[in-house]
Amino acid sequence: MSPEHDAPVIPDVTRRQFLAAAGGAALAAALVSLPRLSQAAAPHVLPPLPYAEDALAPVISANTLGFHYGKHHKAYVDNLNKLITGTEYADLPLEKIVAEVAGKPDKIAIFNNAAQAWNHTFLWRSLRPPGGGAPPAALQAKIEAAFGSLEACKKELTAAATTQFGSGWAWLVRDGDRLKVVKTGNADLPLTATMKPLLTIDVWEHAYYLDYQNRRADYVAAVLDKLVNWEFALENLG
Ligand code: FE2
């Protein structure tokens, strides 16, 4: 059997699926399932990094993290504040803005900046120095139930992260009572009635190109082995 046949098929969660799931009560459920990361309302602020800019080196250099957090993440937050000033979204928490504008073509700029602001705050907490290693026992049990082993789970996360075409994200999620790996493109996130994000890996080129150039697989392997924050995933599991 060729390696291609061995590769797990990773679901690609799109805003179309979000819309299909997000009517009425389902939307309320989706809002409940998205971990709350932000303060109550605008102006939205760039949350402090949970560690120093050089704390993830050598896997992610201070140079990369400085640009990623201080330029890219900051720009999403700043742009969001400009876009929502004087609108119906001005006084909503970030998670609610994301859910309200998802799938609305005339609100795509607000969605992209709100979702990217949320995704990056979630990303920083998905990493820690030192991370990787063995998950806490309660999470390990859920991982083994869903994937068979930690290695199989990491293999699926790697496949999601390396097969995402262009910019996007790989995610470990709880879907109902079961863990699953999914990937999303651009600013999209697994915001559906049943999925709750547990952790994420950013595969936009700005996340790794200064350190790894085109070697996305090396970046993903190093993040999974040395930085991934299984404790944060367990917190979100509850
Ligand atoms: Fe990013």
State pTM to two decimals: 0.89
Task: Let me know if residue 51 belongs to a domain.
Answer: no
CA atoms of 221 and 205, how far apart (whole Å): 15
The Å distance, Cα 145 to ligand 1 centre, comes to: 31
The Å distance, Cα 112 to ligand 1 centre, comes to: 12
Tell me, what's the pLDDT at 17?
56
> What's the domain range around 83?
9-36+59-238
Tell me, what's the pLDDT at 178?
95
Structure tokens at 5: 């046949």
The Å distance, Cα 71 to ligand 1 centre, comes to: 10
Tell me, what's the pLDDT at 18?
53
Structure tokens at 16: 């179309």
Tell me, what's the pLDDT at 38?
64
SS3 185: strand
The Å distance, Cα 44 to ligand 1 centre, comes to: 18
The Å distance, Cα 1 to ligand 1 centre, comes to: 36
Letter for the amino acid at 212? Y
Q: List C-alpha distances in Å: 199 to 75, 85, 88, 229.
A: 22, 30, 30, 8
Query: What single string gives the DSSP state of each residue in 196-236?
Result: EEEEEEE-SGGGTHHHHTT-HHHHHHHHHHHTB-HHHHHHH
Task: Let me know if residue 54 belongs to a domain.
Answer: no
Question: 160 with 10: CB under 8 angstroms?
Answer: yes
Task: Let me know if residue 160 belongs to a domain.
Answer: yes
Tell me, what's the pLDDT at 23?
47
The Å distance, Cα 43 to ligand 1 centre, comes to: 21
Q: List, run by run, the mean pLDDT of 10-residue segments along the chain (238 residues).
A: 48 58 48 61 88 98 98 98 95 91 94 96 97 97 98 98 96 95 95 87 98 97 98 94
Tell me, what's the pLDDT at 5?
42
Task: Let me know if residue 154 belongs to a domain.
Answer: yes
The Å distance, Cα 73 to ligand 1 centre, comes to: 7
Task: Let me know if residue 14 belongs to a domain.
Answer: yes
Task: Let me know if residue 4 belongs to a domain.
Answer: no
Task: Let me know if residue 47 belongs to a domain.
Answer: no
Whichever domain contains 145, its CATH number is 3.55.40.20
Tell me, what's the pLDDT at 144?
98
Total domains in the fold of the chain? 1
Q: By C-alpha distance, which of 87, 140, 124, 102 is closest to 13?
A: 102
Task: Let me know if residue 149 belongs to a domain.
Answer: yes
SS3 182: strand
Tell me, what's the pLDDT at 191?
78
